[in-house]
Amino acid sequence: MSNTIKGPFIVTGASGQLGSQVIENLLAQGAAPLVAITRKPEKLDALRARGVDVRAGDFNDPSTLGAAFAGGGRLLIISTDDLEPGKRLAAHRNAISVAKEAGVSHIVYTSLTNPDENNPISFAADHRETEALIKQTGIPHTILRNCLYTDLFLMSAPQAIGAGALYAAAGDGKAGYVTRADCARAAAAALLTETGSTLRDITGPEAVSHAEIAAILSEVAGKEIPYVPITRDALVEAMKENGLPEFMADVFSSFDVAIAEGYLDVTTGDVEDLTGQKAQSVRDFLLANKPGLTGQE
C-alpha cells in the first residue's frame, strides 16, 4: 500500500454485494487495521479468520453503532437499500451522528448522480439530504456519486433477449452506467487516499442510450434486439406482470425517467483518477457476461 494515510478503515454493509467487494480490494492492498460492520457478523466468519475486525452494527439501531465505530478511523458509509419512505435517511442520520461522536476522521459516502430536488429517482432526496448531513458535521469527506450499476442489466438483458426486444421508458436519454466492481474499487481507493473534502462522479467511460444497449445485446444474442420506447405507466404494468411489487416497479421505472430527462448523462474520469485503472464499458461488461445473459452458462 503506497499511501501514508492511517486507519482503521471501516466498511459498513460489509456483507452486501458492494461492501464485500470493497473489503476484498482493501485486503488486496494491505489496508490495516480493517473493520467490517454488518448486521449479521456470523456471515463474516471467513473474513475474521483473515484478520478483519468484524463488528455488529445496524444503522436502524443506533445503540449498536457506538461499539461498531469505536476508535474512530476512516469510515465508508454504504447507502442502505431500504425503499420504505424516510427509513433510509433516518438510518443514515444515525450513522453520521454516531460517527461524529466516535471521532471518525474521514467519511466516504456512496451517493447518487445529480441528487438534486428535481431528480425523479424516488430516493434522490435521501442522498441529497445525507450529503448535507455529512457536510454539516465538519468532518472531511468524500462523496462518491455512483451512477446506475451496469450490473442491473444482468436482470433485464436476459428478459430483453428472451422477448426479442428491449423495452424501456428512457426515451433517447443516456446514462453513464458503471459496474459495481468499479464502484468498489473507487470506494476502496477513496478510503485509502482521499484527503480534504471532495465530490466525485463515479461513472463508466461513456454514457450510452438504450438504443446503443440494444445494439450490444443484438451482438451478444446473435440476433436483432430492437429498442422499443414505451411509457412509464406501461413499464410499471409490465414489471408488475412479471411479479415486481408496485412500489419497486415505481422505483425502477423512475430510473428510466431520470435517464430520459438527462439526469444520469454524466461521465468522468474519476474511477481512473482514484484507482489508476479505467472503468469498464457497458459493452465490455455485457460481452464478458454473455453466457449468463443468453442462458448458455
Average pLDDT rounded to a whole number, residues 18-40 = 96
280: cell is: 469498464
| Percent of the chain clearing pLDDT 70 (strictly above) | 98
| Res. 83 pLDDT band, cuts 50 70 90 | confident
Given this model, what pLDDT does residue 46 score? 96
State phi, psi for 128 to the nearest 5 degrees: -60, -45
Q: How many helices (H) and strands (E) would you count in the chain?
A: 13, 11
CA gap 15, 285 in Å, rounded: 23
The model's pLDDT over 230-239, given as tens digits with 9 standing for 90+, comes to: 999 999 999 9
Per-residue pLDDT band for 6 (boundaries 50, 70, 90) equals confident
User: What confidence score (pLDDT) does residue 297 get?
Assistant: 60
Give start and end residues of each alpha helix (H) in the chain.
Answer: 17-28, 45-49, 65-68, 87-101, 124-137, 153-163, 180-193, 210-221, 232-241, 246-260, 270-275, 282-288, 290-294
> If pLDDT is split at 50, 70 and 90, which confidence band does 228 have?
very high
Q: Is the pLDDT assigned to residue 189 strictly greater than 70?
A: yes
Helices 17-28 + 180-193 axis angle, to 10: 50
Asked if the model's pLDDT at residue 2 lies above 60, the reply is: no
Task: Give residue-wise pLDDT tens across range 131-141.
Answer: 999 999 999 99
Q: Which helix (H) or strand (E) holds 142?
A: strand 141-146
Q: Are the C-beta atoms of 257 and 120 separated by less than 8 Å?
A: yes
Q: Cα–Cα distance between 198 and 251 in angstroms, integer?
A: 28
Mean of per-residue pLDDT scores for the chain: 95
Pairing assessment for the beta strands 9-11 and 208-209 based on DSSP bridges: unpaired
Query: Model-level pTM?
Result: 0.96
Q: Where are the domains of the chain?
A: 9-147+180-203+267-277
Going across the sheet that includes 198-202, the strands are 53-56, 34-38, 9-11, 73-77, 104-112, 141-146, 198-202
Q: How far apart are CA 36 and CA 55, in angstroms?
A: 6
d(CA 180, CA 215): 22
Q: Which three cell numbers stand for residue 128?
A: 441529497
Q: What is the mean pLDDT of residues 15-28?
A: 97
- The residue type found at 149 is Y
Q: State residue 82's pLDDT score.
A: 83
Backbone φ and ψ of 82, nearest 5° = -75, 125
Instruction: Work out the average pLDDT over 22-29.
Output: 97
Residue 227, all three cell numbers: 429498442
- We find that the CATH architecture of domain 9-147+180-203+267-277 is 3-Layer(aba) Sandwich (3.40)
| Confidence category of residue 63, pLDDT binned at 50, 70, 90 | very high
